Amino acid sequence: MSQARYDAIIVGGGHNGLIAAGYLAKERLKVLVLERRHIVGGACVTEELIPGHKVPPPSYVCSLPIPEVIRDSG
């Protein structure tokens, strides 16, 4: 049995974990992101909390990503 090797393991697939993983991957590091939920994105995910009622991401209410992150992810 071979074991996978990673340079970095990110615990949590929320928006901050995904941004961190993206920066590490851009540096050609092998990255594993672990998320306990069935969906990634954390506070950036629109979810249907009550059938027929979707709730917007709380991150939009708090603040938008900084311009550098938007630029770097493009």
Domain coordinates of the chain in residue numbers?
8-72
CB-CB contact of 33 with 13 (8 Å): yes
12: left (phi over 0), alpha (psi -120 to 50) or beta: left
- pLDDT tens per residue, range 44-67: 888 888 899 888 777 666 666 788
- pLDDT tens per residue, range 8-30: 999 999 989 999 999 999 999 99
Which two structure tokens, joined as six digits, stand for 40?
A: 């990634």
**Using the 8-state DSSP alphabet, how is residue 14 labeled?**
B
- pLDDT computed for residue 26 by the predictor: 95
Examine the pLDDT at 69 and tell me if it is beyond 90: no
CA distance 59 to 61: 5
**13 closest CA partner among 57, 43, 48:** 43
